[in-house]
Structures are given as C-alpha cells and as structure tokens.
Structure 1
Amino acid sequence: MSTNLIKCCGYVRVSTEEQLEGYSLEFQADEIRKYASLNGYEIVDIYEERGESAKNLNRTQFQRMVKDLYENKFEVILAWKVDRISRDVVDLMQLIKELNGKDKKLVITSTNSDSTKENDDIVFLLQGYFSELERKKILERTSLGMKKRALEGYRNGGKVFGYDMVNKHLVVNEDESKIVQEIFELRALGKGYKYIALQLNARGIKTKRNNSFSIAGIKGILNNVIYIGLIKYGEYVNWNEKRRAGRAEPEIVIGQHKKIISQELWDNVQEINKKYREKRLVNRTVKGELLLTGVLRCPVCNYGTVMHKSKGHFYYMCGQYHNKGITVCRSNLVKRDFIEKHVENVVLQIINNEEIIQEMIEYHEKTSNANTDLAESQLKSIINKIELTNKRLTKLEEEYLNDLLNDYARERNNKLAEKVSKELQELEINKGFLEEEIAEKENKQINEKGIREAFKDFESVYFSADRLLKKSLLRALIKRIEVSKDRKRLESIEFWFFPDYRLPLGELRRRSVYSQRIVKTIEGRRRCNDSRGQRAYDSGYNRAGIY
C-alpha cells in the first residue's frame, strides 16, 4: 500500500431504533471505505458503536478511538454523518476545537466536510444544531407518550420487585410479593434498612437483577407507592440537564395493577420512615468526622469505606458490608485515630520537602497539552449519564417488578437491564479515566510559583481548619489509600500530583528513581533529627509500615 496514504479510522454508530431505519453499521462502514479509497486514506481501524445514543461523547468505542487518536495511531476520523459523532452541538464543536489543536481532524463523508477547513466551520455548526434539534424532538415525543400512559394508570419503567410485566401490565409475582410484605412488616416493627437487607441476604434472597439487597434497594421498596396500587410520574423535570435541581411535584394516579400492601401498613411504615429521618438529621453532622471516607479502601474487597461509630469511637468500615452485609464482605474496621494520624504525617513530610517540590516543578515544565476543556465537558456528560443510567436501571427493575410485561417484553427487559448494567460499569471506568486525565492536566497548568505558594501555606491552613475543610484538603492531594489485610499497617498512598507511582510501596521504590528519591528524603529527615520526640515519631511510622 502507498506510503502517501493518510492514516485514518472510521467511526460508525447506530442506536436501537436506527437499526430499523437503514442506518446499519455495515452501510456506514461501506460508505466510509468508499470515501477513503477515493480520497487517499488508509483505514487503520473502524470503531463500531451498537445501540448507543449520540446525546454525549461518553461511549466506550468513541473513548477508545479518541485515546488511539491521541496516541498517533491515525490522523483523521471519518464518519458518515455528523449525528453519528454527536447530537449535542457544544460537544461537537468542543471536540473539533480539541482535534484542531492537536493537528488532527474530523471528516464527514456524506458532505465532504473537513474540520480543519475554515469554510466548513459553519457546516459543522449547522449540522450539529439540526442533529441536536432532532434529538430534542425525539425526546419530546417520547416524553408525551410516557406521560399519557402514566396518567392512564400504566407504568413506564423497569423491573419492580414484587411484580412481573405481562403484556405491558403489572402482574403480582406471588413469591416476590410475600417478600415485599415481609419487608414492610419488618419496617413497621421499627427495623432499619440495613437489618432488613441483612435478613434477606442471609437467606439467599435476590433482587430482580439477581443481586444482594442493599440499603438503597430496601429504601426504594419502602417508599414506592406502586405497592399500594398507585403510579407516580413526573417527579423530575428535564432530568438530563437539571438532575435533582429539576425536582417537581409528581402526579400520582390510581394504577391499573393490584396492590400488594394495605394502606394501613403503608401509613405505619411512612410514619416510621419519618421518625428515622428526623433522628438522622439530628445526628447528621457526625458524618464530617472522618477525613478519609472515599479514598481509604477496604483491604479485602477494595471498596470505598464509610463511617462507623461504636462506644464513642470512630472507625472506617467497608462500604460493601455497610450496604449489603456479611454475604458480600466483612466490616474490616480501621481505627480513625490510627489511619488519619499516619496519613497526615506522610502528607506533611512530603509537602515540606524542597527536593520533592523541585521534582514536581521539573516534571510539569516538561509536560504539555494541559487543556482540560474537552475532558471536563466529557466528564460532565458522563456524570449526567451515570445518573441517568442508574435511573434507567431502577426504571427497568420497577417495570419488571410491576409486572406490566408479556413474556417477550420481559425477556427484552432482562436483556436491556444487563446491557444497562454493563454500560454503567463502563461509564464508571470512563469517569475514573477522565478524572485522572483532568487532574493530571490541571497539575500541568500549575507554575512553579503556584506550586510553592500552595504547599507553603498548606500546613498552617490545615491545622487551623475544621474537619470538613481538612477532608477537602486531603482529598485534593490523595487519590487512594490502602492498608494491610490485618488493618495494622498503612500500605500505600496514591497521590493525584505524583505521576506513575504510589507511596510508600516497596516495589515501586525499587522500580522508580523518582520514588526512591522521595522515600530517601523522608528517611533522611528522620536520621538527621536525634531528638527523643522525633525518634518516637519515627517509630510510630515504622509501626505503621511506612518505612
């Protein structure tokens, strides 16, 4: 093949509905191949996105394509139409700006539009605008249809535990309805969400998704009016853009399905819920007491940790255990005083070390490409999509549980639920990737003066701050903390601003000169101070497994 050919990739996408309208992936790929052959392009790869919406750029294959593009595997993206890339004009123009800044480009084969040509800017803008307009019309038509169905007493949504969907009607699932009744009766006796979840999980009872029951799942059941024969619709207005800020007064109508719970039992449970909420508000301020929730990981399952208080003492507890109980993990308690003290000591020694600061400055001076606009736009979209996907998953579950589906629809619902669950996992992965990318790029934007000023005042600000501010300061520095399996040693701290390693892992010390220098410096500070207080301080570090 001629070496004069420009390396490119093809991007093809089709939503579920579009597969029926002649927009098949094969058709798009053929059009791209024809264009490439006629215009001197060599196709390195074709990225296929099946059953995906173009409302944002947070799609698995699209993100893989962008990553490969930035690794210089090709120079050009070929797509059949603009709406294959995005139906959001802001996302589209931001992508083009980012591509042009890296000497890459997007070419639309159906219109021969080139993102690097000045005269084609207006073409992309108009095509993007009309694509977004079409998406809004589709959403509006869908919303009107769903509202009409809801007001007629039919459910628009996913699986609901206690019901099956048969011919778009909710039908009581006899086995699951007994569990629903039990859940309400336990709550009426004053049992907490976690207690109820633990009882069900211990007996091996599963949700509609064949998962263990969680606190959130139990709470959702106990607050769902569907179990007293009602349908609720319109609790959120324009969820995709406003999220929870768009909360509105929902419309509640009598449903076309049979109720599982009596009105009397429902009222009793709601009264219990109200008392628990009031009690929770009284004790809510205690949640700010722990500095490392979210960044400290469970040493067994690697899940995030949450607060636990026992006999006046605070601990970090495995979040999985907290939500789902002993069937998924153990409590794996870590003493607050132990872990926070050692983390603070490591952080303060690092930020007060001139050699480490100089290494950081040199690293940032060597790096480039610190623009975060596209990544931030993508992250915002992906966070919105995660919330929406969670909502879709809940909706599918409610739809299934409410028993409005026939056998075919139930099977389709199950497949959609599996697909949505996988999407959610991929979104979380992409979210983490984007957060790391943004943090990395933002660090690159910091100049020498900014780095020194930030670290110069950190210690004084930290020790004069309340615990909530301390928590924010530590989270700005620390990405992840791991402790040993026996929970008696600090294994590692991973920082946002240090590239490619974590402190104080021994293996990384051996592999990284940069890491060796940091650890060596900290140890040097220890050896240079012969005071009894410093020796005691260092022995505490040794017991924590830091050296």
Structure 2
Amino acid sequence: MYQMAAYCRVSKDDGENKISESIENQLKLIREYIEKSDDMELADIYIDDGYSGLYFSNRPEFQRMMEDIYKGRIQGIITKDISRLGREHIETSNYMERVFPALKIRYIAILDGVDSVSHQNEELAQFKTLFNDMYSRDISRKIKGALTVQKKRGQFMSGFAPYGYMKNPDDKHRFLVDEEAARVVRRIYSMYLAGYSKGGIARMLNEEGVLTPSEYKRKVQGLKYANAKQKPGAEGWAYPTIHVILKNRVYTGAMVQHKSEKLSYKMEKYRYIPEEQQYIVEGMHEPIISKDIFEQAQEIGKKRTRTPGFGGEVKKVNPYAGILVCGDCGYNLQRVTGRDGYECSTYHKKGNAFCRSHFMKKETLDSIVKTEMEKEGKSETISEVTREMVIEKIEKITVYSGRNVEIVFK
C-alpha cells in the first residue's frame, strides 16, 4: 500500500484561474482518485498557496514533503496535473525522471494521465513540462507588459507603500502622507543636511527607541510586513536604512518604480536599473520634503568621503565607503587600518557571537573590482580604483568569505 502525499499549489504569478486551480478543487480531485484506488492511502497533505511553479527551493510545503520522503514516511506523490508540481521544464523533468525514481517514489499527475508505476504517458509528460514552461514565459511577458503601462502612468503597483506614506484607501495605486512616520523622514534629512553621518543618525534613532520602518509597518500600520532584505539577527536602525531613505525620490512627490527587474522569468535574481531608465512620474502625491532639500542631500552624498588611513594613503578617500557590506549580517564593512583591509562592523563591535570577520585585504578587493569592472566593460584598463569610479559604476559590493565577492553594477 503506497503512502501518498497530496501536493497542491496555486499562484497568481502563474496566471492561474482561481476557481479551476483552487486548492479545494485540487484536493477534491486527489481524494476522489485515491478513494477509488486499492493500492494507495492518503498519508499527508502539502499545500503551497501563493508560490510560483517556476521555483522549487522557496516552497516550504514542497520542502517539508521532500523531508518526509527522505525519512521514509511517503512512498508516492499525487498532483492534479504536472503544472502543480512545477512549471519550469528542466527542474520539473529532473524530479520526475531522476529524483523520484532514485528515491523509489511513485508519481501521479491525474489529469495528464501520468503514473510512474505503469509508465503511462511518459513521452507526453515531456511535452507537458515544456508546454507549462512556455505558458509561464507567455504569462510573465503579458503581466510585465500590463504592469509597465500602469507604472509609466505613475500608478503604484507594489505591495507596500514606502515608509512615510500609506496607501490611499480610495485608490490603492496612490499614496497619502502618514504624518507620524513622515516626521521621522523629515528629521533624517534635516540631520543629514546639518552634518550628521548616516551611521550617526541611525544610532540616535536607536537610542531614542524610534521604530524602524519594518516595525512601524507591523506595529502601527498593522500590516503583515516582512523585510526580505533584512538579515537574520539584524535589529534597529542601521546605515543601509538611512541610506535608502536619503536616496528615495518618492519623498519629493514623485512616483518612482522599475528600480530593478528579474534577470529571467525563471530566476529570483534581480538587476539594478539605472535612474535614467526608471519610471519616474512627478507630482503623484503630497511631498514630504522639497526637491531642493532632496538635491542638497544628494550633493552631500557625492561629496562626503572618509579617509582610509592605509599607510601613505591617508589623504586619499576610501573608494568603497557606503557600498561595502557583509554577506551575512548586511551591515557595512569598516576599515581596519593596522591590517590594511576591511572587516564586518558587526563582528568588530560585537564579536563572533553575532557575525564573522569577513576580513578582506584592500589590495585583494581592489584586484577583484578591477577584474570585474573590466569584464563588465565598465573600464578597459584600471590602474587605480578611485572613489569617483566606484560611485559612478557600482551600486553595492557584498563580501562573503575569502575571495567570494558579489558586485552589483549600476
């Protein structure tokens, strides 16, 4: 008797019909199929509601199901059709043809007539996985096209309004000023223009117990908000948060969208979009700060530099100031003058209970940056990495360990 896992999945990102592909309908079909069988029992139900079929690793219930398979609790998987298992051709086929057979797992896709025990419709299954992939590509293109039109009109098309605003209850594509948070935004700009550093502003807000944007959204606005970019263990205001607020043109009344885009409809990795290619529509909501104040802040950001103190380079500015971050905690790497390199500021201040050193020699980082910039065609030959070169062409540098560095170009 096969102990079967009923796996159900639905996602609006796949352009699926809410009624025909509903979890309830999937479960009903699976239960009826198992009840009519004399060699299967329903062992457990696994539901990924709201997860795209293009990815497997980010689905919590799919991963739980695989863990139960490895523990021997499940001998088979049954889905409404192959698209419920996945829509990405290569990885879905890999599970069906290699992973499941290697683990001696029976796989059934009811509406596609696939049953790995009887080897039914195996050839058809290959065409189905390819068709599902093509369908996702087509849906992705159509959704992207529709969103682009709306974004170019200045309609907000994301989930949460930026800190300082709230969605207009009468028009979810427009903003209203949230005065309590807006006061903090104005204060941040005022302090920055008065000479405070971004790190100094963050420390002062933490000392005063001011809620971070994420905490404010959850505790005051009552939103189910999670900051996807926040690193585990990272709490309170920090340099990156202040930096983002000071760079966000939305506070001048402009709607700014299309700041990044997926490298591929099959990937969750994004690329930064240069400002001149972003969709910026002026005068879409009440400004929190004036355009003049915003531009003053940008000019200060360009001019403000830090001396690295590396031997004879004391008079030269640190080319990586503000863009060199730790791959684990997300906080900036700071100068370590005695060792002629950079080290995670969290580790430096709190020790290895909170993060690792991630130390990198300056000459090593310079070498990596030169090589990558030449590969990207940002510069043909580089004799010296300068601050002007870095702020013009690099958005962020993330240091993980050893020579493991990720550079995001503008």
Q: TM-score, normalised by structure 2?
A: 0.67
State the match for 2:125 in structure 1. Answer: 124
Contact persistence 2:3–2:74 (CA under 8 A) = yes
Match of 1:15?
11
Q: Distance in 1 between matches of 2:25 and 2:128?
A: 20
Aligned partner of 2:260: which letter?
A: Y
CA-based RMSD: 3.7
Which residue in the other structure is 2:82 paired with?
82
* Matching residue's letter, 1:257: H
% identical aligned pairs: 23
CA distance in 2, matches of 1:307, 1:121: 53
Matched, 1:230 2:257: no
2:239 corresponding residue in structure 1: 215
Paired with 2:317 and 2:120, the residues of 1 have a C-alpha distance of 62
Is the Cα contact below 8 Å between 2:262 and 2:270 reproduced in 1? no
Please list the CA deviations of residues 167-192 of structure 1 after superposition, one character each: whole Å capped at 9, or x if unmatched: 22211122222211111122223322
Match of 2:110 in 1: 109
2: CA distance, partners of 1:214 / 1:282: 22
| Distance across 2 between alignment mates of 1:175 and 1:136 | 43
3-state SS, counterpart of residue 280 of structure 2:
strand
Amino acid at match of 2:289: I
Residue aligning to 1:359: none
What is residue 459 of structure 1 aligned with on the other side?
none
Q: Distance in 1 between matches of 2:71 and 2:192?
A: 55
Using the TM superposition, give the Cα deviation of residue 160 of structure 1 relative to its aligned residue in structure 2, in angstroms: 0.7
Distance 1:279-1:121 versus aligned 2 partners, 3 A rule: farther
The residue aligned with 1:26 is 24
1:283 aligns with 2:318: yes
Q: Is the 8 A contact 1:239 1:246 kept in 2?
A: no
In the alignment, structure 1 residue 69 sits paired with structure 2 residue 69: yes
Mapped pair 1:332 → 2:332: no
* Structure of greater relative contact order (alpha carbons < 8 Å, 6+ residues apart): 1
Cross-structure match for 2:288 = 260
Looking at structure 1, the residues matched to 215 and 342 of structure 2 have their Cα atoms a distance apart, in angstroms, of 31
- 1:223 CA drift (Å): 0.8
8 A contact 1:229–1:256 mirrored in 2: yes
After superposition, residues 132-151 of structure 1 pair within 5 angstroms as 132-151=133-152
Which residue is equivalent to 2:161? Answer: 159
> What letter is aligned with 1:172?
V
Match for residue 194 of structure 2 among 177, 184, 189: 189
> 2 CA distance for matches of 1:184 and 1:52?
38
Following the alignment from structure 1 to structure 2, what is the Cα–Cα distance between the partners of residues 304 and 185? 26
Deviation by residue 1:89-126 (Cα, 9 ceiling, x = unmatched): 12201212211222223210122202466663332222
Aligned in 2, Cα 1:268/1:246: closer, same or farther, shift over 3 Å? Answer: closer
**Residues 268 and 311 of structure 1, relative CA distance in 2, 3 Å threshold:** same
SS in structure 2 at match of 1:125: helix
Contact 2:261/2:272 (8 A) holds in 1 = yes
Contact 1:88–1:131, Cα closer than 8 Å, also in 2: yes
Q: Tell me the distance in 1 between the aligned counterparts of 2:268 and 2:33.
A: 41
- Structure 1: 4+ residue segments shifted above 6 A: 277-281, 303-306, 313-316
C-alpha distance in 1, partners of 2:306/2:34? 65
Counterpart contact for 1:75–1:104, Cα < 8 Å? yes
Displacement of 1:71: 2.1
Structural mapping, 1:291-306, within 5 Å: none
Shift of 1:219: 1.2
Q: Distance in 2 between matches of 1:195 and 1:286?
A: 15
Count of residues paired in the alignment: 320
Take 1:231 and 1:206, find their aligned partners in 2: how far apart are those partners?
A: 25
Match of 1:515 in 2: none
Q: Give the aligned partner of residue 425 of structure 1.
A: none
Correspondence for 1:412: none
Contact kept? 2:113, 2:121, Cα under 8 Å:
no
What runs of 5+ residues in structure 1 fail to find an aligned partner? 288-292, 296-302, 323-330, 341-467, 476-547
CA distance in 1, matches of 2:271, 2:342: 33
The amino acid across from 2:302 in the alignment is: K
Shift of 1:11: 0.6
Structure 1 residues 276, 66: closer, same or farther in 2, change over 3 A? farther
Q: Could you tell me which of 29, 33, 36 is aligned with 1:35?
A: 33
Q: Distance in 2 between matches of 1:218 and 1:246?
A: 19
SS in 2 for 1:232: strand
Aligned equivalents of 1:140, 1:61: Cα separation in 2: 28
Contact 1:317 1:332 in 2 (8 A): no
Q: CA deviation at 1:30?
A: 2.1
Letter in 2 for 1:76: G
Aligned to 1:203: 208
- With over 3 angstroms needed to count, the CA separation of the structure-2 counterparts of 1:90 and 1:246, relative to structure 1, is farther
- The 1:245–1:163 alpha-carbon spacing in structure 2 relative to 1, beyond 3 Å, is closer
Rounded Cα–Cα distance in structure 1 between residues aligned with 2:51 and 2:270: 24
Structure with greater proportional helix content = 1
Any unmatched runs of 5+ in structure 2? Answer: 217-235, 309-315, 359-398, 406-410
* 1:471 equivalent in structure 2: 402
Q: How does 1:360-439 map to 2 (within 5 A)?
A: none
Larger Rg: 1
